Amino acid sequence: MCRKAYHYDTLVINRENSEGKKKNLQVLLCSENVPPQINGIARRVGHYAEGLEALGCDVHLLCPGSEGVFSHPNPWNFTAAMMVLSPTYFIHLMTKSYDIVHVVMPMNFSGIWLLMGYKLLRLWNHNTQPALVISWHCNIGDYIGHHCPKPLQNICNWLFFDCLMSILPEFSDRILTPTKATEKTLTKSWDSHGYNRTGVCYTGVDKQNFGPTMKDSVSGKIWQARKARFLRETNCKYLLLYVGRLSPEKGINELLHCMKRLDGCALWLIGDGPDRPKYEEMTKQLQIPLEIWGYQNGEALYSSYTAGDIFICPSTTETFGQCVNEALASEIRVVLPRVKVFTEAFMDHIPQDAFWEPLNELDMARAIKQQLKRHNECVEIGRPNATKLHSWTEACTKLQNDYIIAQSFSRTQQDDIRLRKRTIISLPLWFLVSLLSVIIIYVFYLIRLFIGLLSLNYSRLLTNKTSSTNWKKTFKDASKDRNCFWIQS
């Protein structure tokens, strides 16, 4: 859902330009992830929309909850949303004059349909506008490896990369990823014609809100009091901190097992997700000092980083790791797995020996102990310098430069990136498959919603003896609200 604070429904600002003045860049930004959703892509898109507007662009953000869009919760994560563009609004957008169409991926079928429509319109009119840009913010290959049964992984990768997403290089001028190491299986297709059509959509950090001074804020003092009490109760000396979603691909399982090797260390997990019950059960079985605080917002989130002695992000599937950026801005020492994304993004901020070999519990413990030793001795090695991090203004300026590069490519080289005959022939079939995928995803959401309501009301029947009439009323009320995020995945 979109909130007025961001003006997402009407973010097109029609500025009157005096004759002779340069026209503002007209940007259509299409994303299923927007604030107040709780994920890194949503926060990034929110900063991009505001940052581009501050740089003088006219930004129209098309997202769940905006005009001409049918939206529903993401069945894999009920704190996020998905959308389907209405046919009438699609036609309306085809008549608008945009300089840039930027589609935030993955799994944004409405965005892909827009790219296809504008590309076909460009070819039909022999035009070069709008320039078509994709930004890709997920390592789908890694997610398939974590969530898909092993015998089906190869076929799932083939269906996603070689079938569903294989047409994207022909329907876009440029693809941007948070780091060059992100989803190489996919991005290499954009350079197959001999042109460099890949770039980096840089990540910024809100230095006004994330910083060591937040320790002295009202929320910061509350976190410090909680930390002192927790360390006292668990008879520990150091507090390790993780901030993010609690799900299988985040590597928390490995971190919990590693805790047995870290004497005097307690752990806080700040976030929520489908695996929270599992981690709570593991905590009891492993008998480790751990507390889960759930999702935090505003000052409570900004200041939470300052409570940790060491920040740990054990995930090996990140495309950047915004939480790592925020920890560095808070000047907390960080420990990470040695994966290409992290080494590319943070090698200048974190010592070599603060990276551990992925899935190596002993090496993880070594890296944590090394940073704890530096923390205890107050040495400068490994202490982050927030001034070296990009601000969101700098990140948005670089994004605007990539838009200009995409425009240049669409003007000078678009004839070399024509649609292949097999693409034109298979386009109707691809559209039907994508439409079927949207329907299947929506049906899956309804099934999960129904199962969630069943379990919710069954527990109420056991505790409160809720009548069947009330149960039906609850289901009816919830079903009316297609954007009901209150049933946690």
CATH number at residue 25: 3.40.50.2000
- For the ranges 26-40, 133-147, 452-466, the one whose mean pLDDT is highest: 26-40
Judged against a pLDDT cut of 90, whether residue 242 lies above it is answered with: yes
Residues 134-151 as b or e (16 or more Cβ within 10 Å = b): bbbbbbbbbbbbbeeeee
At residue 364 the predicted structure's pLDDT band, cuts being 50, 70 and 90, is very high
Q: According to the model, what pLDDT value does residue 415 have?
A: 57
Do residues 337 and 461 share a domain?
A: no
Do residues 142 and 282 share a domain?
A: no
431 part of a folded domain: no
Determine which of 62-66, 262-266, 285-289, 445-449 has the lowest per-residue pLDDT on average: 445-449
Segment 226-233 shows an average pLDDT of 97
- For the ranges 3-17, 38-52, 189-203, 363-377, the one whose mean pLDDT is highest: 363-377
Do residues 192 and 335 share a domain?
A: no
Structural domains counted in the chain:
3
Dump pLDDT digits (tens) for 250-279.
Answer: 999 999 999 999 999 999 999 998 899 999
116 part of a folded domain: yes
Q: According to the model, what pLDDT value does residue 19 have?
A: 45
Do residues 178 and 219 share a domain?
A: no
38 part of a folded domain: yes
Determine which of 15-19, 24-28, 53-57, 363-367 has the lowest per-residue pLDDT on average: 15-19
425 part of a folded domain: no
49 part of a folded domain: yes
Judged against a pLDDT cut of 70, whether residue 4 lies above it is answered with: no
Q: According to the model, what pLDDT value does residue 396 have?
A: 95
Q: According to the model, what pLDDT value does residue 96 have?
A: 92
Do residues 375 and 408 share a domain?
A: no
- Type of residue found at 79: T
Dump pLDDT digits (tens) for 26-39.
Answer: 999 999 988 888 77
Do residues 264 and 400 share a domain?
A: no
- Higher pLDDT, residue 380 or 233: 233
427 part of a folded domain: no
122 part of a folded domain: yes
The whole domain housing 453 covers 445-480
User: CA 38 to CA 78: how far, in whole Å?
Assistant: 10
**176 closest CA partner among 319, 24, 352:** 319
Instruction: Report the C-alpha dihedral over residues 170, 171, 172, 176, rounded to 10 degrees.
Output: -80
Do residues 242 and 105 share a domain?
A: no
Q: How far is CA 257 from CA 22, 47, 170, 239, 267, in A?
A: 59, 36, 46, 16, 12
Do residues 348 and 476 share a domain?
A: no
Segment 443-447 shows an average pLDDT of 88
Q: According to the model, what pLDDT value does residue 417 have?
A: 58
CB 181 within 8 A of CB 341: yes
Dump pLDDT digits (tens) for 155-196.
Answer: 877 777 777 787 888 888 999 988 887 767 777 778 776 577
3-class state of residue 238 by DSSP? strand
Do residues 89 and 218 share a domain?
A: no
Do residues 358 and 284 share a domain?
A: yes
Do residues 189 and 111 share a domain?
A: yes
User: CA 187 to CA 413: how far, in whole Å?
Assistant: 19
Q: How far is CA 95 from CA 72, 83, 89, 109, 117, in A?
A: 27, 21, 10, 20, 11
41 part of a folded domain: yes
3-class state of residue 287 by DSSP? coil
Do residues 129 and 244 share a domain?
A: no
Report the relative pairing of strands 310-312 and 290-292 from DSSP bridges. unpaired
**461 closest CA partner among 450, 445, 472, 477:** 472
- Higher pLDDT, residue 464 or 402: 402
